[in-house]
Amino acid sequence: MAGRHMLAVLCITLGTILHATVEGSIQTDVEKVRTEVKQVRTEVKQVQAVVKQVQEAQKLFAKGLTDLKGELNQLKTKYERGKVAFSGALSEGNHNSADQARLFYKRIFTNVGNAYNSSTGDFTAPVKGVYFFTFMTFGYNNQNSGIILTRNGVLAVSSYDFQTISDQADTTGNSVILQLEAGEKISLQLWGGASAYDSANMLNTFNGFLLYPL
């Protein structure tokens, strides 16, 4: 009888120990899992932070790329508008007037950028920049010969040759470098009472081109 009692006590004791051991093992496993989950969450947050940084970097890169494209387009436009060069001659015949008559250079050699309008006689600066202009005038000695280069209708430079009997004809000319704003106009006109004569030999020329934009 006593043996059975001791066996029962032993079984209960073993069961208690086994239960405690299993419970402790489970508790340990649970704590381990909790620690691992916490670590994973920390790593996820770190990854999310890195992803956010990458996304911000992508936004900055995209903005920078857009800005660069805009600047490139502006440079292309400025480059294309900076191609300005004109050269032309008067039409054949005698050009004269009692007043300061505007001259129209109808025989165009080149007009890159279309800055010169042969209908109005105006060279219009397409961009702000430094421009070079030159002109030559031919006339016979039975009349005075001379031309005025005007900037927005105001004399900038000119040339003049008085009527003489010592030679049959004369050629005059002048040149100037001007800083112009976009839209300013350059034109040529005769001095009052002066004349210019041209032929198939292109004796009277007007040239203008952009040295560099500003």
pLDDT tens-digit readout, 141-171: 667 888 999 999 999 999 988 766 666 777 8
Q: Is residue 177 part of a domain?
A: yes
> According to the model, what pLDDT value does residue 110 have?
97
Structural domain boundaries enclosing 112: 84-213
Q: Is residue 111 part of a domain?
A: yes
87 vs 1, more confident? 87
Single-letter amino acid, residue 20: A
> According to the model, what pLDDT value does residue 164 have?
65
pLDDT of 29 strictly over 80? no
Q: Is residue 207 part of a domain?
A: yes
> According to the model, what pLDDT value does residue 2 have?
58
> According to the model, what pLDDT value does residue 79 have?
65
Q: How do residues 103-144 score in pLDDT, each as one tens digit? A: 999 999 999 999 999 999 999 999 999 999 999 998 876 678
Q: What CATH number did the domain enclosing 139 receive?
A: 2.60.120.40
- 28's enclosing H/E stretch is helix 2-81
Q: Is residue 132 part of a domain?
A: yes
Q: Is residue 180 part of a domain?
A: yes
70 vs 122, more confident? 122
> According to the model, what pLDDT value does residue 83 have?
92
Indicate if the alpha-carbon torsion angle 7, 8, 10, 14 is positive or negative: positive
Q: How does DSSP classify residue 199?
A: -
Beta bridge partners of 132: 177, 209
Q: With beta carbons less than 8 A apart as the criterion, state whether 202 and 136 touch.
A: no
Q: How far is it, in rounded angstroms, from Cα 6 to Cα 183?
A: 118
Burial class from Cβ neighbours inside 10 Å (0-12, 13-18, 19+) for residue 168 reads: exposed
181 vs 4, more confident? 181
Mean pLDDT of 88-116: 90
The percentage of the chain sitting over the pLDDT mark of 90, rounded to a whole number, equals: 43
Q: How does DSSP classify residue 102?
A: B
Q: Is residue 7 part of a domain?
A: no
pLDDT of 210 strictly over 90? yes
> According to the model, what pLDDT value does residue 154 have?
96
The predicted model scores a pTM of 0.65
pLDDT of 24 strictly over 80? no
The tally of domains found in the chain comes to 1
Provide the 10 A C-beta neighbour count for residue 158.
Answer: 18
